Amino acid sequence: DTGVSQDPRHKITKRGQNVTFRCDPISEHNRLYWYRQTLGQGPEFLTYFQNEAQLEKSRLLSDRFSAERPKGSFSTLEIQRTEQGDSAMYLCASSSPVMGQDFWEQYFGPGTRLTVT
Amino acid sequence: SQQGEEDPQALSIQEGENATMNCSYKTSINNLQWYRQNSGRGLVHLILIRSNEREKHSGRLRVTLDTSKKSSSLLITASRAADTASYFCASTSSGTYKYIFGTGTRLKVLA
């Protein structure tokens, strides 16, 4: 399977703990996105990488959130001092530029469901 | 909220009928896309329409775009039970890499 993979698929943690999620994009996709989705809502943009550079970060993202993509391949999203409001599905997507077009179709992973108790 | 809005929020139709869902967005866009989400396959890209296009077709899907009204619609013809899912629009704008998703329409197709 050469799709986007995310690990873990489910995470239950206690308030105040730190959690880290991993995303492995499709090979050679140079663009990687993180989103958060809560029940009944559409995905909300968190951050975007082109290769290893983090080019955009949502104002919604507090200082407790950090993301990295150290070698331009896999990415990690860390949430420090988790709060109950962080409970959500965290989605990763990757894409690759298509020559001559200004749009890149995103391929989404299955998500990591975080529950903060 | 930065999210676009979709209506209806939920739609229930009989198999074979057509389903239409609408999306409104807030800023000028480069492109608008539609995605489908169900529990089995996650989020899947369906179709793209660029800001200079007014209508696009792909199989049983038809998308229209009205930039003057900042709105788009997705028509699914001859619906099937397998079309049961949530449908989201997502737009991109100049100067940003963000995709702004709508709130989604939950479609249920009854066999």
Which residue type is seen at B10?
A
How much is the mean pLDDT over chain A?
91
Does residue A62 or residue A74 have the better pLDDT? A74
A 16-75 → B contacts, CB under 8 A: 31, 33, 35, 40-45, 48, 50, 55-56, 58
- Residues in chain B with CB shorter than 8 Å from the CB of A48 are 97-98
Cα separation, A35 vs A21, whole angstroms: 12
**Residue A62: its pLDDT value, please?**
77
Q: Residue B3: its pLDDT value, please? A: 66
Q: Which residues of B touch A (CB under 8 A)?
A: 2-4, 30-31, 33, 42-45, 48, 50, 88, 90, 92, 96-104
Percentage above 90 pLDDT, chain A: 78
Residues of chain B with Cβ-Cβ distance to A109 below 8 Å are 42
How big is chain B by its Cα radius of gyration, in Å?
13
What's the gap between Cα A79 and its chain centre? 11
Rounded to 5 degrees, what are φ and ψ at B73? -135, 150
Q: What is the mean pLDDT of residues A43-72?
A: 91
